[in-house]
């Protein structure tokens, strides 16, 4: 019997951020552990944590609690101190790879090395050694991040036997699968975020019934088609008069990537211009953000616009789901180093091209995301904030199910049984035919006749033999799912059972996409940081 571990429920930590109030998660790094509140990054496979150098350029009179604002939880800490960890193994300065798709090739560097990662004091047993760590001092990434992807690291020098965090947790038999469930949380609802490795919280969302294939391009791994965005309660420009319901001009749809490493929604210029006019926003060229003055802010709070995103797996899909965001999800504040004082802003950015169309953490405040790297797909649904108690469901694949008696799927077993029955039927028919032929030949011989006995029937070349009769009907569960991205309830039930899930679990049945052990990088010459806005 296979011992299937329970999912790892990562503990929420403090609310933090310089471009919004985000729910962070507790992470320990080093031996003894130094604790930080970090943000999940669904497209990165690295762990990033702030180092003290990131606070040296800010006078303590301007930001007296710099370390705490960057997620450092230990008293008086300004960031991770490598000399305090007995398990730190340094690689050196390397360029930070995450975010190049959005911000261009970076000149920002991180101090890379290997160290032990743990999931907080209450989960002391979950200590994963030899994880790739990047100490960050850049202003561009204010908080640390916890990489949830399985793709290799962004730099090029090969360092053997390196595995990113999610695969390492599974390899240590601390998680049942390469999967996770994540909700960003919503401070305006006093609902902290949720992060579960190897499973998801069934009570935290309304299932959409949709499975989205994971893209082979790691920068766009979690892509969806935004078919439409409908807004109610818009304002007529700076005058602030109510203008009712409006449809945002998204054309035939926007192929957008879910990326929790950025806070904002990156949209076409036409969409940004529409929202700027509809809500009286002001574009700030220095930061690239849209600010909201006090007058407009008060009117938006009063009108309370609602945004409905209609999401589908792709442009040809006939099935879709709605994710609804209140204005409160867009009512964010940015501060140092983006602005000198706390400033209201609307979290959208101008995308330079289609590759930058992104749904960031703002979207994930109201959308729950479940990703299965092993089966190569993900699902999302409307977040549920008022829940009595979490219901954690493990994602266990068939070959890992302790109740499973065979590694073969139900469809494969059924095909084998049918094939055996056909062969047996053919044998019985052949025996009957030859016995009958022999008896007839014997009677003819006794009667003295020489009637010609026809040879046994043969299959024509353009016909299917017994072993091929059921070929058209023998489809694997994955092929059945690809035929319909929105199967019937009976089909959904059958597929769930084939994969070892309960009827309440999502369907995950697309082509396997998993990249194993991460690789670490090549020593790069440190270059001068260029000023950029915070994330």
pLDDT tens-place string over residues 389-437: 899 999 998 665 444 333 334 443 444 445 555 556 666 666 666 666 6
Find the mean pLDDT for residues 467-480: 33
Residue 467 banded pLDDT, cuts 50, 70, 90? very low
Let me know if domain 8-178 sits in CATH 2.40.70.10.
yes
| DSSP calls for 386-418 | --SS--EEE---GGG-TT-S-SS-HHHHHHHHH
CA–CA dist 49, 71 (Å, integer): 8
Strands 265-267 and 348-350: parallel
Find the mean pLDDT for residues 317-334: 97
Q: What is the pLDDT of residue 436?
A: 63
pLDDT over 60 at 304, yes or no: yes
pLDDT over 70 at 454, yes or no: no
Find the mean pLDDT for residues 43-52: 94
Neighbours of 138 (CB within 10 A): 20
List CB contacts of 518: < 8 A, sequence separation 6 or more: 45, 46, 132, 151, 152, 153, 162, 163, 164
CA–CA dist 80, 116 (Å, integer): 13
Its pTM stands at 0.74
Q: What is the pLDDT of residue 458?
A: 37
Dump strand ranges (E) for 239-337. Answer: 241-248, 254-258, 265-267, 282-284, 289-291, 306-312, 321-326, 332-334
Q: What is the pLDDT of residue 156?
A: 53
95 vs 150: which has the higher pLDDT = 150
CA–CA dist 26, 123 (Å, integer): 10
pLDDT tens-place string over residues 346-372: 999 999 999 999 999 999 999 999 999
Residue 94 banded pLDDT, cuts 50, 70, 90? confident
CA–CA dist 306, 327 (Å, integer): 6
SS3 annotation, 93-127: EEECCCCHHHHCCCCCEEEEEEEEEECCHHHCCCE
pLDDT over 80 at 164, yes or no: yes
CA–CA dist 383, 222 (Å, integer): 18
Find the mean pLDDT for residues 487-510: 38
Q: Do domains 8-178 and 201-386+402-420+464-513 have the same CATH topology?
A: yes
Q: Where are the domains of the chain?
A: 8-178, 201-386+402-420+464-513
Helix (H, G, I), strand (E, B) or coil at 533: coil
Superfamily of domain 201-386+402-420+464-513, CATH level 4:
Acid Proteases (2.40.70.10)
Mean of the per-residue pLDDT values for the chain?
78
């Amino acid at each position: 019997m296979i011992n299937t571990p329970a999912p790892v429920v990562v503990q929420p930590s403090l609310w933090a951020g310089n471009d919004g109030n985000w729910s962070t998660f507790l992470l320990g790094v080093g031996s003894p552990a130094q604790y930080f509140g970090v943000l999940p990054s669904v497209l990165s496979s690295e762990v990033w944590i702030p180092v003290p150098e990131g606070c040296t350029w800010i006078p303590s009179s301007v930001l007296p609690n710099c370390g705490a604002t960057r997620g450092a939880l230990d008293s008086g800490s300004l960031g991770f101190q490598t000399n305090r960890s007995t398990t730190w193994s340094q690689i050196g300065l390397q360029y930070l790879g995450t975010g190049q798709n959005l911000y261009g090739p970076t000149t920002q560097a991180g101090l890379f090395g290997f160290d032990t990662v743990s999931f907080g004091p209450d989960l002391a047993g979950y200590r994963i050694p030899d994880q790739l760590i990047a100490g960050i001092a850049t202003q561009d990434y204010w908080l640390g991040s916890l990489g949830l992807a399985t793709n290799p690291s962004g730099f090029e020098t090969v360092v053997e036997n390196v595995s990113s965090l999610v695969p390492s947790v599974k390899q240590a038999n601390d998680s049942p699968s390469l999967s996770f469930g994540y909700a960003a949380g919503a401070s305006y609802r006093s609902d902290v975020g949720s992060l579960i490795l190897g499973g998801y919280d069934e009570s935290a969302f309304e299932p959409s019934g949709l499975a989205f294939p994971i893209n082979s391009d790691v920068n766009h791994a979690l892509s969806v088609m935004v078919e439409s965005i409908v807004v109610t309660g818009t304002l007529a420009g700076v005058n602030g008069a109510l203008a009712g319901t409006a449809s945002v001009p998204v054309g035939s749809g926007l192929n957008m990537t879910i990326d929790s490493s950025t806070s904002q929604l990156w949209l076409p210029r036409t969409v940004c211009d529409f929202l700027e006019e509809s809500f009286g926003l002001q574009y700030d060229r220095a930061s690239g953000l849209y600010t909201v003055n006090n007058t407009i802010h008060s009117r938006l709070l009063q009108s309370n616009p609602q945004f409905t995103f209609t999401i589908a797996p792709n442009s040809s899909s006939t099935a879709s789901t709605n994710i609804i965001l209140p204005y409160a999800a867009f009512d964010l504040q940015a501060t140092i180093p983006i602005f000198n004082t706390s400033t209201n802003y609307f979290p959208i950015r101008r995308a330079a091209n289609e590759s930058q169309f992104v749904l960031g953490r703002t979207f994930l405040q109201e959308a729950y995301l479940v990703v299965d790297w092993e089966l190569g797909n993900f699902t999302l649904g409307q977040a549920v904030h008022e829940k009595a108690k979490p219901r954690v469901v493990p994602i266990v694949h068939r070959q890992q199910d302790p109740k499973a008696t065979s590694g073969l799927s139900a469809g494969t077993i059924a095909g084998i049984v049918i094939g055996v029955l056909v062969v047996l039927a053919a044998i019985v028919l052949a025996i009957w035919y030859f016995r009958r032929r022999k008896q007839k030949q014997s009677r003819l011989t006794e009667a003295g006749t020489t009637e010609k006995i026809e040879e046994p029937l043969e299959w024509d070349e353009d016909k299917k033999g017994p072993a091929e009769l059921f070929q058209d009907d023998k489809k694997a569960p994955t092929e059945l799912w690809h035929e319909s991205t929105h199967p019937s309830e009976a089909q959904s039930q059958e597929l769930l059972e084939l994969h070892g899930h309960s009827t309440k679990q999502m369907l995950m049945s697309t082509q396997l996409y998993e990249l194993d052990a991460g690789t670490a990088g090549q020593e790069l010459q440190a270059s001068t940081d260029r000023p950029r806005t915070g994330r």
